[in-house]
Amino acid sequence: METGWPESESSRRFGVLFAGLGAISTTLIAGVEAIKRGLAQPVGSVALLGTLDVDPEGDPRHVRIRDYLDLPDLDDLVFGAWDIVDTDGYAVARQARVLEPDLLDSLTHELAAVRPWPGVFDPRFNRRGPVTFAKTGRDFLDLAEQVQQDILRFHEAHGLERSVVMWCGSTEAYLEPAEAHQTLAGFEAAMRDSDHAVVAPSMIYAYAALSLGLPFVNATPSRTVDIPALVELAQLHGAPTAGKDLKTGQTLLKTIVAPGLRDRMLGLEGWFSTNILGNGDGATLNDPDAFRTKQESKLSVLSSILRPDLYPDLYGHLHHQVKINYYPPRGDNKESWDTIDLFGWLGYRMSIKIDFLCRDSILAAPLMLDLALFMDLAKRAGLAGPQDWLGFYFKSPMTSTGQPPEHELSVQAAVLRRELRALVPVPMAAPVPPRVA
């Protein structure tokens, strides 16, 4: 099949840059290195294990997605990161305690080679202790230019022409939409004024990446790139964007279970969800302002799927609650409980209990890998702005139309595969120099 991919080996290599070197990013890096050695399979990765029916109108003909689209090999990924702690990938992974020490020790060299550049920090959005490993500058535009220089030096050092930038730092405190978010000119004025009420650290990374024409992924529930100003910037420079908040544990199950209850026309009175987790994300979400950001992302799912506007007798009075509790002994091993109070024929009440003991970073890492590969693919195919077809991966997907997103997992999966069938990537030009606002 003709794909339009460039032929040289160096042109297939690309950078995966994490704004936040934490449990998820180091779990992904370690997993990629383990898979390359034949120690494991990429379980959870649609890009590497999934298939497509490439003749949906005729006899089924399934091929592997990675072969159909000639995706880069894992050897083609080069990792880099920013963080506000001067550390390395091996030290972070050991502290996160997601993976077994024996596996990490066998990957010491590869993980330790990932040393972060100083990150962008603002105590208004992340109430951590004293931070000394952070960029300083005359204003937020200057910080963005410093991030761009990190990227361009990284490209030069590794002989790369392109990267995907992924925000996977701590969930930021809730940020109200502002007038300056509506236009690029207004946002750049706020950057120039270092307006902490308008510009969060994640937005500085997004501005830097998009100005270089690089794809940007928001893996967290923070507002980040989901504002008109940065969508405008993405369109201007031909950069794909995607987000927000990876759909991993409890919300993943909701998007599987809720459609089944709706399709059977079973009524719901209440859905109570609570979580315990002890990783860095749990510590961050112990802050009410950060939890508000997360809660907004998690609460939007059920009403979209159940459609109380169409079925008011069944779902018009649903009581939906979400709680998250920081419990350090669990580390990255999250546990979520759901109590679903439903009713059936003649209004008789029933109940469903779900107890999901999951590993947060183990579920998230393959999603990040898929997003890196598919966002690179989107860039090569000439796509820009919000990539609706990647909503499969997010709790609160961005949309290009401004309309409410689709949340039902099976529908999202169908959209993803339909778009992958249609994508024919083209060679990517080298990124443009940093734009000075």
Phi-psi bin for 385: left (phi > 0), alpha (psi -120 to 50), beta? left
Instruction: Compute the distance between CA of residue 60 and CA of residue 417 in angstroms, rounded to an integer.
Output: 14
Instruction: Compute the distance between CA of residue 47 and CA of residue 427 in angstroms, rounded to an integer.
Output: 20
- With bands split at pLDDT 50, 70 and 90, how would you rate the model's confidence at 138? very high
- With bands split at pLDDT 50, 70 and 90, how would you rate the model's confidence at 274? very high
Instruction: Compute the distance between CA of residue 143 and CA of residue 7 in angstroms, rounded to an integer.
Output: 36
Closest to 163 (Cα-Cα) out of 6, 364, 379, 370? 379
Provide the pLDDT for residue 430.
44
Cα 293 → chain centroid: 15
Instruction: Compute the distance between CA of residue 289 and CA of residue 366 in angstroms, rounded to an integer.
Output: 29
- With bands split at pLDDT 50, 70 and 90, how would you rate the model's confidence at 384? very high
Residues 201-255 pLDDT 10s:
999 999 999 999 999 999 999 999 999 999 999 999 999 999 999 999 899 999 9
- With bands split at pLDDT 50, 70 and 90, how would you rate the model's confidence at 280? confident
CB of 236 within 8 A of CB of 380?
no
Provide the pLDDT for residue 230.
98
CB of 222 within 8 A of CB of 202?
yes
Provide the pLDDT for residue 61.
86
Provide the pLDDT for residue 59.
82
Provide the pLDDT for residue 127.
78
Provide the pLDDT for residue 60.
84
Provide the pLDDT for residue 128.
73
Residues 45-92 pLDDT 10s:
999 999 999 887 778 889 999 999 989 999 999 999 999 999 999 999
CB of 155 within 8 A of CB of 142?
no
Q: Is the pLDDT of residue 432 over 80?
A: no
Q: Is the pLDDT of residue 133 over 90?
A: yes
Q: In the predicted model, what is the mean pLDDT of the chain?
A: 91
- With bands split at pLDDT 50, 70 and 90, how would you rate the model's confidence at 437? very low
Provide the pLDDT for residue 402.
82
Residues 386-420 pLDDT 10s:
999 999 999 999 999 888 899 999 999 999 999 99
Q: Is the pLDDT of residue 433 over 50?
A: no
| Average pLDDT rounded to a whole number, residues 258-266 | 97
| Average pLDDT rounded to a whole number, residues 297-319 | 89
3-state secondary structure of 21: coil
Residues 160-171 pLDDT 10s:
999 999 999 988
Q: Is the pLDDT of residue 5 over 50?
A: no
Provide the pLDDT for residue 165.
98
| Average pLDDT rounded to a whole number, residues 259-266 | 97
Strand (E) positions, 327-418? Answer: 333-343, 349-359, 385-386
Provide the pLDDT for residue 330.
86
- With bands split at pLDDT 50, 70 and 90, how would you rate the model's confidence at 126? confident
Burial of 11 (0-12, 13-18, 19+ CB in 10 A): middle
Token duo for residue 38: 């034949």
Q: Is the pLDDT of residue 277 over 70?
A: yes
Q: Is the pLDDT of residue 289 over 70?
A: no
Q: Is the pLDDT of residue 436 over 70?
A: no
Kindly state the percentage of the chain with pLDDT values over 90.
77
Provide the pLDDT for residue 324.
86
Q: Which domains does the chain have, with CATH numbers?
A: 9-246+362-422 (3.40.50.720), 250-359 (3.30.360.10)
CA dist 284 → 19, 38, 98, 110, 172 (Å): 16, 35, 18, 28, 8
- With bands split at pLDDT 50, 70 and 90, how would you rate the model's confidence at 7? very low
Residue matched to tokens 């778009």: 419
CB of 187 within 8 A of CB of 229?
yes
Task: Name the residue type at position 114.
Answer: V
**Whether pTM exceeds 0.75:** yes
Provide the pLDDT for residue 111.
98
